């Protein structure tokens, strides 16, 4: 087949990129080779627009065993244990086919984790939908939630935390980010780097079908009105096969037979084989006649570009084939030697005794295009919001409206579709500041959280980048965990637009600054560009997944009030910043203005103080203050514990709305026994930590002076109503 301009366009390659291919190949590529280049050079696989920025991120601290560049990041949590984790996007497939798109997003991220030798112990997700009134939203929400649940529940990994948000910016491009966390023996981590020549290359798992061909290329282009025709490029998941594949791989990993292992994710067999060979400085030769196929007459092109799920590529030590084959046979999975490693540094594909493709490995990897795309700084909107200039509203009405709004409603409707308890180690689940998962049979645990704040990032990408790292850190601190490292999923619009590229560049700088200051490095992640339809780009939405360590299981905390008549304190200073707050955004529909400022020094001091207070067991509960400000945080503490509050407005307060709905950063609420109060106050003063006493816990009523009084039970109902109503349920 002659390669025409039309074919090149269809493969998402620019004409200068095609010229570069010819130069690297020293000839015209054939159709199969062009397909392979397209799969490896697209944004999703090559990181060509993001790489130079990502390099700025800190990737090390004393706990990091493996940073970015592998299937997942690895950190040391002591006693020979390692935690392996990563987050990844599956945005475009989920918009086209919500159930399968989100399900395979979960399946893909799980493979990234168990490929490295870790047994997955927790799943998390961050899902963003359009406005609830948009006609697509309900169907997408239903499909995505059942897809995430369907996969995780079946494979038997608990979905322990997540966030579900709505904003019209996602009307035509939802976000589905899934994170997986696994536990491994520090000495038995498996990598993708091939070693040795003439080693058998083994294909295991499901058979290859025609699903998902060019999925990675689809994820590297903007949507248009024809996007829904792309349904055939969405992969179909089978969690049952994945469960078998996971058990078989983990069983094989107990032996010493694996040299390297890589899951077939985006760009399937192509990217897995190229990546393994490239990292080892080797070549690889595959015999495509041996590929187990699900359908008849599959062409080499289809085999190499299929994104069929639940498949792995393994390079084995000599003579270990039989031992390995027995294990896969036990689990009723395919196990076929399909090729070998070579010293040619070439990807060589044979089909029906002919060489059908021969490409230098480097041309597909290190020589892939790299762009320093033009970017511009965000023009900041420094206008201050003066609440007194806007329509008057009663405080209690405003509060009731916010707590029953889609974004602040109780997410039970979502989280009750996820098995959160399977594996028997989930201590804190969805609803907590961070989930806590016990290390099986040991007296320690990890805390995990996933966070985003698109409104802040859209109005101030630099500060938003800092904020989201801080929020992640704060959530871990709030349950008593020492934060260790993060994974990030960077969801942005079209990088060829300098403003979008500017959001990305500045956001990375913000993330970098906060990560460095808090010693909270990035160990894995994923970039998802081209989130938008017909030039409407989504808000920049970096999602941060954080992991922390709890050394002593008796010293954890949560946000549930424990007692009547204990003192409630705010740690950190309240300025009453309303710009980009949930209050001003949702109740006044005001979307301009600056987000709250980040003071990294205060953030760190306040957080470290909270950890000390939890350690010394002087506090009964802790909650970080985030979206919705002090009053929403108090409501969450009351609703989860069925204990009320009686609080007073501080005397120096300028405005009740600013004080209680403001979203100043670095703040926590704590509940302290009256007996412990002098001790806690002394500690705070000694450490120069700003605090305010605002009231006490009480039975039954949630009460603020004369401005607000409601039964906690009624508050609970208000908070629970929206989802059920939206989905047409009565209870």
**Positions marked active-site:** 44, 90
Token output for 69: 């560049």
C-alpha to C-alpha distance for 510 and 445, rounded to whole angstroms = 29
**DSSP-assigned letters across all residues of 63-119:** TEEE-BTBSSEEEE-STTEEEEEEEEE-HHHHHHSHHHHHHHHHHHHHHHHHTTTPE
C-alpha to C-alpha distance for 568 and 670, rounded to whole angstroms = 6
C-alpha to C-alpha distance for 277 and 193, rounded to whole angstroms = 7
Give the binding site for another protein (CB under 8 A).
146, 149-150, 153-156, 238-241, 243-244, 331-332, 412, 416-427, 438, 440-441, 553-554, 729, 731
Smallest distance, another protein to C-beta of residue 715, A: 18
Burial of 685 (C-beta count, 10 Å sphere; 0-12/13-18/19+): exposed
How far is CA 126 from each of CA 91, 145, 596, 705, rounded to the nearest angstrom? Answer: 11, 11, 22, 37
Token output for 139: 């169907």
C-alpha to C-alpha distance for 253 and 263, rounded to whole angstroms = 14
Give every CB contact of residue 220 below 8 A, 6+ residues apart in sequence. 12, 42, 43, 44, 529, 530
CB 363 within 8 Å of CB 34? no
How many C-beta atoms lie closer than 10 Å to residue 221's C-beta? 17
Residues composing the chain = 731
Token output for 543: 């999602």
* Minimum CB distance to another protein smaller for 329 or for 383: 329
CB 58 within 8 Å of CB 385? no
User: In which order are the strands placed within the sheet that holds 258-263?
Assistant: 258-263, 311-316, 200-205, 334-342, 283-287, 346-351, 354-360
CB 494 within 8 Å of CB 500? yes
Smallest distance, another protein to C-beta of residue 249, A: 14
| Locus of tokens 């870790």 | 118
Nearest to 220 by CA among 35, 365, 48: 48
Q: What is the 3-state secondary structure (H, E, C) of 577-594?
A: CCCCCHHHHHHHCCCCCC
Smallest distance, another protein to C-beta of residue 474, A: 24
- Roughly how many angstroms between the first and final C-alpha of the chain, as a whole number? 61
For the chain, the helix, strand and coil percentages under 3-state DSSP, each to the nearest 5: 40, 25, 40
Q: How many helices (H) and strands (E) does the chain have?
A: 26, 28
Give every CB contact of residue 554 below 8 A, 6+ residues apart in sequence. none
Report the Cα 653 to chain-centroid distance in Å.
38
C-alpha to C-alpha distance for 603 and 666, rounded to whole angstroms = 5
How far is CA 538 from each of CA 91, 169, 175, 284, 532, rounded to the nearest angstrom? Answer: 12, 5, 10, 40, 6
Phi first, then psi: give them for residue 252, nearest 5 degrees.
-65, -35
CB 105 within 8 Å of CB 234? no
Nearest to 500 by CA among 43, 17, 41, 72: 43
How far is CA 90 from each of CA 141, 144, 229, rounded to the nearest angstrom? Answer: 14, 11, 17
DSSP bridge pairs for 428: 436
């Amino acid at each position: 087949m002659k390669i025409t301009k039309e074919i090149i366009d269809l493969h998402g390659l620019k004409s200068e990129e095609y010229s570069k291919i010819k130069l690297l190949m020293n000839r015209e590529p054939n159709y199969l080779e062009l397909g392979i280049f397209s799969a490896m050079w697209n944004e999703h696989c090559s990181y060509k627009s993001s790489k130079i920025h990502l390099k700025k991120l800190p990737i090390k601290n004393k706990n990091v065993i493996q940073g970015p560049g592998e299937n997942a990041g690895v950190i040391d949590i002591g006693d020979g244990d390692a935690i392996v984790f990563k987050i990844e996007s599956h945005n475009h497939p989920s918009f086209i086919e919500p159930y399968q798109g989100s399900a395979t997003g979960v399946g893909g991220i799980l493979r990234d984790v168990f490929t490295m030798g870790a047994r997955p112990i927790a799943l998390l997700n961050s899902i963003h939908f359009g406005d609830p009134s948009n006609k697509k939203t309900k169907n997408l929400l239903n499909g995505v939630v059942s897809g995430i649940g369907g996969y995780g529940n079946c494979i038997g990994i608990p979905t322990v935390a997540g966030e579900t948000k709505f904003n019209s910016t996602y009307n035509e491009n939802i976000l589905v980010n899934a994170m997986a966390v696994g536990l491994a023996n520090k000495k038995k981590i498996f990598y993708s780097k091939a070693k040795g020549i003439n080693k058998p290359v083994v294909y295991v798992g499901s058979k290859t079908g025609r699903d998902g061909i060019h999925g990675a290329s689809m994820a590297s282009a903007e949507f248009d009105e024809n996007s829904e025709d792309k349904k055939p490029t969405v992969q179909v998941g089978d969690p049952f096969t994945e469960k078998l594949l996971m058990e078989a791989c983990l069983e094989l990993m107990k032996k010493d037979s694996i040299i390297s292992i890589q899951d077939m994710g985006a760009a399937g067999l192509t990217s897995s084989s190229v990546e393994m060979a490239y990292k080892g400085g080797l070549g690889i030769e595959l015999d495509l006649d041996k590929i187990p196929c699900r359908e008849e007459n599959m062409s080499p092109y289809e085999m190499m570009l299929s994104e069929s799920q639940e498949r792995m590529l393994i390079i084995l030590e000599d003579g270990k084939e039989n031992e390995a084959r027995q294990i896969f046979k036990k689990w009723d999975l395919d196990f076929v030697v399909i090729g070998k490693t070579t010293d040619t540094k070439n990807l060589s594909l044979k089909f029906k005794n002919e060489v059908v493709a021969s490409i230098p490995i480097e041309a597909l990897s290190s020589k892939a295009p790299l762009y320093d795309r033009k970017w511009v700084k965000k023009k900041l909107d420094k206008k201050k919001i003066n609440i007194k200039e806007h329509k008057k509203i009663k405080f209690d009405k405003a509060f009731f409206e916010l707590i029953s709004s889609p974004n602040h409603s109780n997410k039970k409707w979502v989280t009750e579709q996820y098995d959160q308890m399977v594996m028997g180690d989930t201590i804190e689940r969805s609803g907590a500041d961070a989930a806590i998962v016990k290390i099986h049979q040991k007296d320690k645990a990890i805390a995990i959280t996933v966070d985003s704040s698109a409104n802040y990032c859209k109005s101030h990408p630099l500060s938003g980048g800092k904020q989201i790292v801080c929020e992640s850190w704060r959530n871990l601190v709030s349950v008593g965990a020492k934060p260790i490292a993060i994974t990030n999923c960077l969801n942005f619009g079209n990088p060829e637009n300098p403003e979008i590229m500017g959001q990305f560049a500045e956001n990375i700088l913000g993330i970098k600054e906060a990560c460095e200051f808090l010693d909270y490095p990035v160990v894995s992640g994923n970039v998802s560009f081209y989130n938008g339809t017909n030039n409407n780009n989504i808000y920049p939405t970096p999602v941060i997944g954080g992991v922390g360590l709890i050394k002593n299981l008796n010293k954890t905390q949560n946000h549930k009030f424990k007692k009547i008549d204990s003192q409630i304190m705010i740690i950190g200073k309240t300025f009453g910043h309303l710009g980009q707050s949930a209050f001003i955004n949702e109740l006044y529909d005001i979307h301009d203005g600056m987000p709250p400022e980040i003071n990294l020094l205060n953030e760190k001091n306040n957080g470290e103080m909270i950890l000390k207070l939890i350690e010394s067991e002087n506090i009964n509960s802790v909650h970080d203050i985030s979206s919705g400000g002090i009053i929403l945080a108090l409501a969450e503490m009351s609703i989860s514990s069925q204990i009320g509050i009686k609080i007073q407005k501080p005397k120096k307060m300028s405005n009740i709305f600013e004080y209680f709905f403001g979203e100043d950063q670095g703040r926590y609420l704590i509940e302290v026994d009256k007996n412990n109060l002098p001790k806690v106050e002394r500690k705070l003063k000694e450490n120069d930590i700003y605090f305010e006493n605002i009231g006490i816990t009480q039975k039954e009523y949630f009460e603020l002076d004369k401005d607000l009084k409601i039964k906690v039970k009624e508050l609970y109902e208000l908070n629970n109503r929206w989802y059920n109503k939206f989905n047409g349920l009565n209870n």
